[in-house]
A and B are shown apart, each in its own frame.
Chain A
């Protein structure tokens, strides 16, 4: 079990844990689809702009705020943002950041269970797709398995149907997650990520090598080859750069991929030593995420699909979305790979599982930290509370599976919209309330590299404005449809209700925690700055 005074064991440990949190299914499944639909290689221009002006600066702000909050003895978003924002407003805004990882975990662990289920299926003979049959028939077999495994046809079918395999997979991944979180920061999460991240890289390399050596598998259709597959992903269409939609998609991809605004980095960074580097660590974890996204995700997924399914098949696969591509189309692709197909499929889904579990761990840990701080419970008791909350949230997700409406609603309102809002709150609190000068000094305390000075301007002006423009564009593009869905579907309304109830309970917990922290003499409003700055600085 974790000790009361938790801390990362090594510099590399925290980097790999944060990188593990950032690298998820979206790196391998969402990024290639977004790039192919928005200009191919040209998409990389707005993508890297968003990385430099949005992702990395906000990430640095989160690392710095987290470590500073940790110096004050806080590890939860409400506690840390209360310190940074010097008052109750920061604390209550921080409730949103505490809600995100917990609410996202409700459905994320369910999807993580799919990766385990598919891994086990490929390990034991595959999904039963006959590669000799027509492609349409193979796609139908794969789709039928996907529908049955995820319960997409009917609510409650995963409980009442003939097979409880999905439930079993969920129990396994949930138990592993909780056990690792219970073990604590250093002995659980850090230790696991230290071997899971290299393991994921090895799996990705194996699949990448297999895909790049596919050549032209069917001589009858010579245009379906690896080079043309890469061309589908990377040939630039610069005309797309004139579209706001492309820039919005690129910013959105960076934003969700790099894990800023989730309330995760801020929690992880709070367990760092007082003088630990945050600048190089933040850059390294972002760079690692980019390697998995561009270096592996951008090379594997669509190339493999193109080689076997051709241009029209790949376009159709991309249009089915990330999960359709990963769990529906790729099993058909693996079936074409001959005797090694099941092995490659197993390695692929093992890699997705490692990507998912290193992310889900980072969702439970902030919840445990929040409950410990707000209620005064010990580590074991707080972990038990997370088990109860996680079970309730996940079981609702696993029951209301029809068309994925329930979890898609959680994903949109919490896992997408609220993340924009939290990131905006964080960068404004950091640059304007804590103060950019003070934040800059704090970031460089113990830093192994210096941030170029231009980023002071970027963090104060460019990132908040960039974020605001992206947020407004995002709302115009998606909000009307999302509201319509909530009005039209009662599982969607139930998901909204779950979000609101959880938010309310957390706000009450912060209220109670506030009194406890004051009684315990904690400096929850940063009246005595840990960096020796005047209490008025940055106001």
Chain B
């Protein structure tokens, strides 16, 4: 595999794994639905 292949593969894997882990972390650590308060401005804040 060429260096370009390694870079694209590792970037793509880091992106999808990172996104999934971040999303599930947010979902699983969120308070129960009744207690949700509106979030402040800004993505993921």
Binding site for B on A (CB under 8 A): 11-12, 15, 40-42, 44, 48, 227-228, 230-231, 233-236, 273, 275-277, 280-281, 283-284, 287-288, 290-291, 294-295, 298-299, 444, 446-452
Contacts and interface: CB of A to CB of B under 8 A. Distances in A.
A449 B41 CA distance: 9
Contacts of B19: 283, 287, 290
Nearest to B7: A41
A44 B20 contact: no
Contacts of B38: 444, 447
Interface string B1-35: 11011111100110111011001101110100110
B30 A288 contact: no
Nearest to B40: A450
Contact of B24 (A273, A284, A299, A451): A284
Given A15-B27, A48-B15, A281-B27, A275 B33 contact: yes
Given A290-B20, A447-B39, A448-B39, A236 B12 contact: no
A450 B45 contact: yes
A231, A275, A287: most-surrounded residue (chain B CB, <10 A): A287
Contacts of B9: 41, 230, 233-234, 298
Contacts of A234: 1, 5-6, 8-9
A235 B36 contact: no
10 A-B pairs closest in CB distance? A41-B8, A231-B1, A284-B23, A235-B5, A234-B5, A234-B9, A287-B19, A290-B16, A287-B20, A291-B20
Contacts of A233: 9
Given A280-B26, A284-B23, 12 more contacts: A11-B30, A11-B33, A12-B27, A41-B5, A44-B8, A230-B1, A230-B5, A283-B19, A287-B20, A298-B12, A448-B30, A452-B43
A441 to B, nearest CB: 11
Contacts of B39: 447-450
A450 B16 CA distance: 20
A41 B15 CA distance: 14
Contacts of A452: 43
Name the prevailing secondary structure of the A interface residues: helix
Contacts of A277: 30, 33, 36
A33 to B, nearest CB: 17
A9 to B, nearest CB: 11
B12 A294 contact: yes
A236 B41 contact: no
Contacts of B1: 227-228, 230-231, 234-235
Interface of B: 1-2, 4-9, 12-13, 15-17, 19-20, 23-24, 26-28, 30, 33-34, 36, 38-45
A44, A283, A290, A449: most-surrounded residue (chain B CB, <10 A): A449
Contacts of A284: 20, 23-24, 26-27
A44 B6 CA distance: 13
A281 B43 CA distance: 14
A287 B17 CA distance: 8
Contacts of B34: 275
Given A41-B12, A280-B23, A294-B13, A236 B4 contact: yes
A37 to B, nearest CB: 16
B12 to A, nearest CB: 5
Given A281-B27, A448-B26, A40 B5 contact: yes
A234, A295, A450: most-surrounded residue (chain B CB, <10 A): A234
Nearest to B24: A284
B38 to A, nearest CB: 7
B23 A446 contact: no
A309 to B, nearest CB: 18
Contacts of A236: 4-5, 8
B43 to A, nearest CB: 5
Contacts of B40: 450
Nearest to A48: B15
Contact of B23 (A228, A231, A287, A447): A287
Nearest to A452: B43
Contacts of A280: 23, 26-27, 30
A444 B38 CA distance: 8
Given A11-B27, A230-B5, A284-B23, A273 B33 contact: yes
A275 B7 CA distance: 41
Nearest to A41: B8
B39 to A, nearest CB: 6
B16 A294 contact: yes
B16 A287 contact: yes
A296 to B, nearest CB: 10
A22 to B, nearest CB: 13
28 contacts: A12-B27, A41-B4, A48-B12, A230-B1, A230-B5, A231-B1, A233-B9, A234-B1, A234-B5, A234-B6, A235-B2, A235-B4, A275-B36, A283-B23, A284-B20, A287-B16, A287-B19, A287-B20, A288-B23, A290-B20, A291-B17, A291-B20, A298-B12, A444-B38, A448-B39, A449-B44, A450-B39, A452-B43
Nearest to B44: A449
A295 B16 contact: yes
Given A277-B36, A290-B16, A450 B42 contact: yes
A42 B1 CA distance: 14
Contacts of A283: 19, 23
